Amino acid sequence: MGETSTTFHLTLSGDVYLKSKRTQTKLISRARNNLNSALVANGLDPSIRRIGTHRYEIVPGPGEAEVLIAAAQTVFGFATLEAVTEVSFSTFEELIDNLAALTGSSVTGRTFAVRARRAGNHTWRSLDLARALGTALVGCGGRVDLTNPEITVRVSVFDNRAYTVTDQWKVAGGLPLGTQDRVLCLLSGGFDSAVAAWLLMSRGCPVDFVHFSLNCAQSDHALAVARELWARWGHGTSPEVHLVEFQPVKDALFAEVEPSMRQVTLKVMMAKAASAIATEQRILALVTGDSLGQVSSQTLPHLAAVSGAATVPMLRPLVGLPKESIIDLARQIGTAELSARAQEVCDLSGGSSVATSARADRISRSVERIPDAVMADALTTRKTFDLIDWSPGRF
């Protein structure tokens, strides 16, 4: 089959079609709009029509198939993408004959299983279709193995249209982006915060970003990570960035706080600042890339202290994941290479040992040593801009 007749089926995720009918309507509308945004962003304008209740049929133009496959895989709210070939029929017997003619050569001398699904009014069931086609394919020289087949013959029938699946891809899944409320992600530019943001995006939350600029961190690299994440996965959204100059806060830490307490105190100050921004922007929750025990500021006592300093809930989707799993996810979502070059390397201890389980009252006393005016100035002088407007060195 040539490029001009390539057809794809994109199936909504279970997170969408297992909802009530009323909720489905809202989710499907958003998923469809985000799909259109993804395709337009990649220079595509394919023919799209809905099939049944949970699928879209997409026919790309000549030479567009590979780009469409890549784009469709990044739209939350869809579970599978299939390349399909349509099979004409008027009777059940004709359907079996045509399917066997199309797929018979692929099973000759090999084990196979037939997986059939249908929707619509038919006098036969999916199981009847699978059994009849299986019998015909045995006649073509195949051997049935339902447990571990070499070839899986996939057939879909929707009303009076039938298809065989020639290829299949798992896509983003989850909830359509924009169907939940916004969250504010504390962006470091390393592996963790980008993956945490992606996980909240997969649950439908648009993500805005706050980055705390320090002399020991590379803000442009951190924002490049956010831009890459959004460009790949943020279809239908327009994130806002809050760039907070936090070097004066760090300077106050060195002047007022004992070395062992600086790291956790800095995290508390960031949580307080991010909370203030979230409250001002009417954002309901913060997101961080914290993973329990990964560094000194992420021990359980210190995570509790940071949460206690925040005035809005803090979401930590990575809290139970090891670093290796986080990096694997970063590779999957396409931010790993950038994050590897944007690692924050702030060591505030001055060579001293770092507290890993400081008491809450000790942390509070350290925080109180930072002048209120320093924090207030950091918030009032922050730069706020749309992520799409960012370019290196601009802000």
The pLDDT-based confidence of 353 (bands split at 50, 70, 90) is low
Q: Which of 138, 170, 202 is the last residue of a domain?
A: 170
Q: With respect to residue 395, please indicate whether it lies within any of the assigned structural domains.
A: no
Residues 195 and 331 in one domain: yes
Q: d(Cα 6, Cα 359) in Å, to the nearest integer?
A: 63
Residues 198 and 105 in one domain: no
What burial letters (b/e) apply to 355-392, b meaning 16+ CB within 10 Å? bbebeeebbeebbeebeeebbeebeeebeeeebeebee
Q: Mean of the pLDDT values across residues 147-174?
A: 94
Q: What is the pLDDT of residue 357?
A: 73
Q: What is the pLDDT of residue 301?
A: 86
Contacts of 93 (CB under 8 A, 6+ apart): none
Residues 126 and 39 in one domain: yes
Residue 236: Cβ within 10 Å count = 20
Q: With respect to residue 176, please indicate whether it lies within any of the assigned structural domains.
A: no
The pLDDT-based confidence of 37 (bands split at 50, 70, 90) is very high
Residues 87 and 205 in one domain: no
pLDDT above 90 for 341: no
Q: d(Cα 195, Cα 387) in Å, to the nearest integer?
A: 17
Residues 40 and 129 in one domain: yes
Residues 221 and 106 in one domain: no
Q: Mean of the pLDDT values across residues 111-120?
A: 94
The pLDDT-based confidence of 344 (bands split at 50, 70, 90) is low
Q: Mean of the pLDDT values across residues 268-290?
A: 97
Class of residue 139 by CB neighbours under 10 A (exposed 0-12, middle 13-18, buried 19+): exposed
Q: Which of 121, 140, 170 is the last residue of a domain?
A: 170
Residues 362 and 216 in one domain: yes
Q: What CATH number corresponds to the domain at position 192?
A: 3.40.50.620
Domain total for the chain?
2
Residues 209 and 131 in one domain: no
Q: d(Cα 131, Cα 125) in Å, to the nearest integer?
A: 10
Q: Mean of the pLDDT values across residues 132-143?
A: 97
Q: What CATH number corresponds to the domain at position 123?
A: 3.30.2130.30
pLDDT above 50 for 3: no
Q: What is the pLDDT of residue 358?
A: 73
Q: Which of 170, 193, 222 is the last residue of a domain?
A: 170
How many C-alpha atoms does 383 have within 13 Å on its Cβ side? 15
pLDDT in tens, 318-329: 999 999 999 999
Q: Mean of the pLDDT values across residues 291-315?
A: 90
Q: What is the pLDDT of residue 291?
A: 93
Residue 18's domain spans which residues?
Answer: 3-170
Q: Mean of the pLDDT values across residues 167-181?
A: 96
Residues 264 and 156 in one domain: no
Top pLDDT among 179 and 51 is at 179
Residue by residue, DSSP assigns 228-289 as HHHHHH-TT---EEEEEE-HHHHHHHHHHS-GGGHHHHHHHHHHHHHHHHHHHHT---EE--
How much is the mean pLDDT over the chain? Answer: 92
| Joined tokens for residue 226 | 């956010």
Residues 283 and 214 in one domain: yes
Residues 89 and 7 in one domain: yes
Residues 45 and 138 in one domain: yes
pLDDT above 90 for 381: yes
| Joined tokens for residue 309 | 């300093």
Q: Mean of the pLDDT values across residues 297-314?
A: 91
End-to-end CA distance of the chain: 50
Q: With respect to residue 198, please indicate whether it lies within any of the assigned structural domains.
A: yes
Q: What is the pLDDT of residue 230?
A: 97
Q: With respect to residue 373, please indicate whether it lies within any of the assigned structural domains.
A: yes
Positive or negative, the Cα torsion across 168, 65, 337, 232? negative
Q: With respect to residue 177, please indicate whether it lies within any of the assigned structural domains.
A: no
pLDDT above 70 for 343: no
pLDDT in tens, 5-14: 579 999 999 9
pLDDT above 60 for 64: yes
> In this structure, are residues 275 and 332 in contact, taking their beta carbons and an 8 Å threshold?
no
Q: With respect to residue 266, please indicate whether it lies within any of the assigned structural domains.
A: yes
Three-class secondary structure of residue 354 per DSSP: coil
> In this structure, are residues 355 and 268 in contact, taking their beta carbons and an 8 Å threshold?
no
DSSP conformation class of 296: G
pLDDT above 90 for 355: no
Q: With respect to residue 216, please indicate whether it lies within any of the assigned structural domains.
A: yes
Class of residue 343 by CB neighbours under 10 A (exposed 0-12, middle 13-18, buried 19+): middle
The pLDDT-based confidence of 330 (bands split at 50, 70, 90) is very high
pLDDT above 80 for 28: yes
Q: pTM for this structure?
A: 0.90
